[in-house]
Structure 1
Amino acid sequence: MQFQRDNRNSSPVEDDAIKAVILNMFVSRTDTSSTTIEWTMVELIRNPTTMKTLQNEVRKVVESKGIIEEEDKKMPYLKAVIKESLRLHLPVPLLIPRESTHDTKVLGYDVASGTRVLINAWAIARGPCLKENPEEFYLERFLDTSIDYKGLHFELIPFGSGRRDCPGITFAVAILSS
């Protein structure tokens, strides 16, 4: 509201525009998390052995206390399930827009400075040159590796990477891991 008052003459922002942005922020952060949970459940139902192993891991952590607490996040199987689900089913159809800052060469192609490129995270996550059986739910690919989904490992970038990664990643990780 202060922005509207200060910029009434030069750049008015209507109430409807503000409401649309706020609604978009709420829907983006809750809808994508719930969709990821739904896809994870679908994959676990399709893979009953994986579901049983995950249930055993969770039960082992819960059995002594009855609840899972923040310090109990050392569940490697759960983390691998989430990573594999995010790999196969990105929260949004993600084309990451970027602009090259200097002339470069990518796979033999010249890319001039200032060129806008779209990074296809879906294709990267399912790329046959990067993964064995890229179309299968195979979480063992993440059990003995440090690959994470926070944008540092470019094999798995469901939340984007760099300065313009998803601002809701912390919220999403908290929802998905609980």
Structure 2
Amino acid sequence: MRIRTGAASAALATLLAVGAAVPAQAAGSDAPSYRSAASAQSARAGSGVGAFQTLGDNVHFSHTVRGHINAHGWWKNLSGPARGVKAKVTVWLQVKRGGEWKTLATDVKNVYSGGGSGKRAAAAYKCTYNVGQYDFRSVIDVDLIGYPDDSYKKITATQRLGCGL
């Protein structure tokens, strides 16, 4: 889980602007981590956004359309004035081929905080056959409309599925 914060971003960006450096730490997909702005200027501009999470599910077979795989992305407001704000949620459904991740499908939606069918983006891919195992993942980006954004994207756990390309 990764949490974005506005006020904390402003403080961190100020430290970064004066040359303070903090060693990077790898975080597990379930460990809370905090977003920061890249500069003091963008931190000041985005300091009122509050905190939110970028969320998504693992790539899976569709429960409604036979022979399709899906990946969903959404966001959850945790605090602050992000209530009532929409976010542009982008989901890339990817497969690993030749050692590289290739995008098979993309979906972009402007949605309110939440999840569920009306508050998420959904990328779908039609399998050509259900033989052969491939590794799939999704990448999710949430950009609150009207607020500065950093480059963080959530990457879901790799799933090995029998979905032909």
TM range (shorter): under 0.3
Larger radius of gyration: 1
- Higher share of residues assigned helix: 1
TM-score (norm 2): 0.27
TM-score, normalised relative to structure 1: 0.25
Q: Between Structure 1 and Structure 2, which shows a larger proportion of strand residues?
A: 2
